[in-house]
Amino acid sequence: MPSPSEIVREHLRPGDMVSNRYQIEEFIGAGAYGAIFSAIDMTTMERVALKALPPANEGIKSTAVGRFHREMKVISKLRHPNIINIYDFGETDQRFAFMIVEYIDGETLFDFVNRQRLPAHIAIELCIQIASGLAQAHDNGVVHRDLKPQNVMIITEPNGMYHAKVLDFGMAKLTGSDESVQLTREGMAVGTPRYIAPEQARGREVGPWSDIYALGLLFYEMFTSQRAVKADTIESAILAHVSPEPLQLDEIHEVPEYVRGVLYKMIEKKVNKRYQSAHEIVRDLRNIEAHRNQADLAGTIPLGDVRAPAKDVGRDPNRVPSLRSASHLELQELKPISRKRYSSQYDNEMRRREEFYVRTPHNVFEWSEAVAAFFLFPVGFICLTAQLDGLDYFLRAFVGFIPFFIALGVGLSSRSPSWNLSLFRQLFGWSLLIFIVAHLLGPERLAIGLLRNPSWFLNPVADVPVLNLLHDLMAGFSRAYGHLLSGWFGGKVIV
């Protein structure tokens, strides 16, 4: 079956006119659901890009058509130097939907950073531009939801300067619209796994903060030419984001210290600790730019000291210096601006989680299992130790607590986000095991042990207030279960 791109190319060829105005030049790329051509606007004689999509009955899902139309709707309401412009849209005579957008003669951020690590001032400036474009989108109720290096184009101006453009709003969420719900029902966790925000991966509410998380990952790549999430599978990539542990940033030493605080706050796993507005990122990065050449600034400028502008305007691309004009000596001599408030918190949190980490329940099933584990362990303990009435008190108690010690050791030492290695899953499994083993050692003997000394382990504290209530509760359970077991033997159990 031909791909959507092949279907489009069978019907639209170089030299064809679209809407009696746009003459197709050549095929320049395949999109997710169609094809992209360069074309000439015969009215203005300017080069444009034409994106075309086959009709829904040509093997294209209706959701794909819906996303295409949504992208036209989204881009048409956004006007910003760092967002791709749309000029026209409509349908061809063959009912192929098309949109005319500005032709961008550049390369993706993916290719751009793969060729070289960017000097700090270039990375900061490009991040400001992308954040400015996102701020404009967010101010207009649009959340991109699929920000990645392939969806950002870098244009090299004739004077050697660089300019960023955010593309592809096909996955965008329109605030207050039910349209995004209908168009993403096929996969609730919309986005690209390596760049998806934790809340987005869980199918929870997304907002400007979700795009900011992805932008932080792009910012990291600008400095390092490496992905922050290097997972080889979708599952492991998603797990890296939803895990409560901070991302493992192996190349963080390549990111200048004076911007790490901004980076850490952009990729914070907890939404309430992350930047809430792209305007804040622009403000803080401009603050760094404005002071990075002042030798006496280390430790003096906290984030947020510079008031955010009332409204972001696009950066003049002529202000972005070329890589070829970068002064490496100047960059090496820069003294770091303090971002201790955020970077030290992040680093301390990473050290704390490396030393001590407990995987907590995340959903109803896990909470149910965690609660069940704390009920099942005492039951398993009582049943197992009832079979060991010939042992010394302390040895008997120690053997009964072995499952708890194992579960605690595995749960704390693994530091894994996997529920299977959590304290609660381990405790549930080991408690169930000793409960079964106690019965396999002989139900009749178990009944005798339960009835003979029902709460032996609490006898030393039987007279202590409050603990005496626990003693009576355990004794009542032991006797009741012992009588239940003895009933299976016709009441022949002799205590």
| Contact present, 129 and 164 (Cβ < 8 Å) | yes
Matching residue, tokens 């605690």: 408
What was the pLDDT predicted at 78? 85
Residues 15-44 have pLDDT tens digits of: 999 999 999 999 988 866 788 999 999 999
CA distance 474 to 58: 69
CA distance 65 to 51: 12
Residue 71: which of 95, 48, 53, 94 has the closest Cα?
53
Q: Report DSSP state, residue 83.
A: B
Position with higher pLDDT, 437 vs 450: 437
Other residues' Cβ atoms within 10 Å of the Cβ of residue 56: 15
pLDDT at 262 over 90: yes
**Helix ranges restricted to H, 1-160:** 4-11, 62-76, 109-115, 120-139
Residue 166: which of 238, 220, 284, 85 has the closest Cα?
85
Report helix, strand or coil for 23. Answer: strand
CA distances (Å), origin 55, targets 13, 58, 486: 17, 5, 74
| Contact present, 82 and 27 (Cβ < 8 Å) | no
What was the pLDDT predicted at 492? 53
| Contact present, 254 and 224 (Cβ < 8 Å) | yes
Band (259; pLDDT cuts 50, 70, 90): very high
Q: Which amino acid is at 358?
A: V
State the Cα angle at 206 between 202 and 207, rounded to 5°: 160
Position with higher pLDDT, 311 vs 78: 78
Torsional class of 211: left (φ above 0), alpha (ψ -120 to 50), beta (otherwise): alpha
Other residues' Cβ atoms within 10 Å of the Cβ of residue 375: 11
What was the pLDDT predicted at 24? 93
State the Cα angle at 71 between 67 and 75, rounded to 5°: 170
What was the pLDDT predicted at 193? 87
Structural domains of the chain, ranges and CATH numbers in brackets: 4-102 (3.30.200.20), 106-348 (1.10.510.10), 364-487 (no CATH)
Residues 456-495 have pLDDT tens digits of: 777 776 677 777 787 778 788 888 887 887 776 655 544 4
Position with higher pLDDT, 358 vs 199: 199
CA distance 123 to 292: 14
Matching residue, tokens 């990122």: 281
Q: 193 CB contacts (<8 Å, ≥6 apart)?
A: 201, 229, 231, 234, 237, 238, 241
Average pLDDT on 398-408 reads 87
Mean pLDDT of the chain, nearest integer: 78
List, as one string, the DSSP characters of 403-454.
HHHHHHHHHHHH----GGGSHHHHHHHHHHHHHHHHHHT-HHHHHHHHHHST
Residue 349 host element (H or E): helix 340-355
What was the pLDDT predicted at 418? 67
Band (261; pLDDT cuts 50, 70, 90): very high
What was the pLDDT predicted at 3? 80
Q: Which of 16, 88, 111, 146 is catalytic?
A: 146
CA–chain centroid gap for 400, Å, is: 41
Query: Among 10-14, 415-419, 444-448, which stretch is predicted with the lowest mean pLDDT?
Result: 415-419
Band (336; pLDDT cuts 50, 70, 90): very low
Instruction: Please provide the distance, in angstroms rounded to a whole number, between the alpha carbons at the two ends of the chain.
Output: 78
Average pLDDT on 286-299 reads 64
| Contact present, 450 and 379 (Cβ < 8 Å) | no
State the Cα angle at 95 between 55 and 10, rounded to 5°: 75
Report helix, strand or coil for 37. Answer: strand
Crossing angle, helix 364-386 and helix 393-414, to 10 degrees? 160
Q: Which amino acid is at 293?
A: N
CA distances (Å), origin 193, targets 109, 150, 234, 251, 299: 17, 13, 6, 20, 37
What was the pLDDT predicted at 417? 58
CA distance 160 to 313: 22
What residues form the annotated binding site? 51
Residue 107 host element (H or E): strand 106-108
Tokens of 150: 């392939």
What was the pLDDT predicted at 124? 94
Query: Among 97-111, 189-203, 449-463, which stretch is predicted with the lowest mean pLDDT?
Result: 449-463
CA distance 222 to 117: 6
What residues form the annotated binding site for ATP? 51
CA distance 432 to 427: 8
Q: Please say if 392 is a catalytic residue.
A: no
Tokens of 25: 């030049």
